[in-house]
């Protein structure tokens, strides 16, 4: 299996912290959503993670800010 990027492995608290999908599952179950909804949300998240190339979320924020991705959303909303 592939190794996680250094930015994901270095955190000393990372071993004790719940993983992202476990957090999502706990939140969904806490809100009493159906298991099918939980399964669908988890699949969406997994596809997004693969789509973004398994990049660190902080890095994705910097990329969006640098490319002006937030502006594209504003343009779509203005056309309504």
pTM: 0.56
Residue 60 domain-assigned (yes or no): yes
Is the model's pLDDT at 66 over the cut of 50?
A: yes
Is the model's pLDDT at 1 over the cut of 50?
A: no
Residue 79 domain-assigned (yes or no): no
Strand intervals (E) in 33-80: none
Mean pLDDT of the chain: 76
Separation between Cα atoms, residue 17 and residue 11, nearest integer Å: 10
Residue 1 domain-assigned (yes or no): no
Residue 7 domain-assigned (yes or no): no
Residue 67 domain-assigned (yes or no): yes
Note the pLDDT of residue 12.
52
Evaluate the CA torsion angle 60, 4, 27, 43 in order and state its sign: positive
Residue 80 domain-assigned (yes or no): no
Residue 6 domain-assigned (yes or no): no
Return the percentage of the chain with pLDDT > 90, whole number.
35
CA 10 from chain centre, in angstroms, equals 19
Separation between Cα atoms, residue 38 and residue 32, nearest integer Å: 10
Residue 46 domain-assigned (yes or no): yes
Note the pLDDT of residue 54.
85
56 compared with 37, residue with greater pLDDT: 37
User: How many domains, in total, are found in the chain?
Assistant: 1
């Amino acid at each position: 299996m592939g190794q996680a990027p250094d930015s994901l492995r270095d955190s000393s608290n990372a071993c004790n912290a719940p993983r992202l999908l476990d957090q999502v599952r706990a939140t969904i179950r806490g809100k009493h959503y159906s298991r099918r909804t939980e399964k669908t949300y988890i699949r969406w998240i997994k596809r997004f993670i693969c789509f973004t190339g398994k990049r660190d979320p902080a890095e994705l924020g910097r990329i969006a800010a640098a490319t002006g991705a937030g502006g594209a959303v504003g343009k779509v909303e203005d056309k309504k």
